[in-house]
A and B are shown apart, each in its own frame.
Chain A
Amino acid sequence: QQQVKQSPQSLIVQKGGISIINCAYENTAFDYFPWYQQFPGKGPALLIAIRPDVSEKKEGRFTISFNKSAKQFSLHIMDSQPGDSATYFCAGGNSGGYQKVTFGIGTKLQVIP
Chain B
Amino acid sequence: DTGVSQNPRHKITKRGQNVTFRCDPISEHNRLYWYRQTLGQGPEFLTYFQNEAQLEKSRLLSDRFSAERPKGSFSTLEIQRTEQGDSAMYLCASSLVSSRYEQYFGPGTRLTVT
Q: In angstroms, how far is the closest chain A Cβ from the Cβ of B51?
A: 13
CB of B107 closer than 8 Å to a CB of A: yes
Select B106's contact among A43, A101, A103, beta carbons within 8 Å.
Answer: A43
Chain B hits for A95, CB < 8 A: 100-101
Q: Are A106 and B101 in contact (CB under 8 A)?
A: no
Q: Chain B, interface size: which category?
A: 20 to 34
Select B45's contact among A9, A45, A46, A101, beta carbons within 8 Å.
Answer: A101
Query: Nearest residue in A to B102 (C-beta to C-beta)?
Result: A46
Binding site for B on A (CB under 8 A): 4, 6, 9, 32, 34, 36, 41-46, 49, 89, 91, 93, 95, 98-106
Q: Are A100 and B101 in contact (CB under 8 A)?
A: no
Chain B hits for A34, CB < 8 A: 101
Binding site for A on B (CB under 8 A): 4, 31, 33, 40-45, 48, 50, 55-56, 91, 93, 95, 100-108
Select B103's contact among A4, A42, A46, beta carbons within 8 Å.
Answer: A46
Q: In angstroms, how far is the closest chain B Cβ from the Cβ of A33?
A: 9
Q: Are B91 and A99 in contact (CB under 8 A)?
A: no
**13 A-B residue pairings within 8 Å (CB atoms):** A34-B101, A43-B108, A44-B91, A89-B42, A95-B100, A98-B31, A99-B100, A99-B101, A99-B103, A100-B45, A101-B103, A105-B40, A105-B41
Chain B hits for A102, CB < 8 A: 45
Chain B hits for A106, CB < 8 A: 40-42
Most buried by A among B43, B91, B104: B43
Closest 7 CB pairs of A and B: A103-B42, A43-B105, A95-B100, A100-B45, A98-B48, A32-B101, A89-B42
Give the docked Cα–Cα distance between A103 and B35 (Å): 10
Most buried by B among A91, A98, A100, A105: A100
Query: Nearest residue in B to A96 (C-beta to C-beta)?
Result: B100
Q: Are B41 and A41 in contact (CB under 8 A)?
A: no
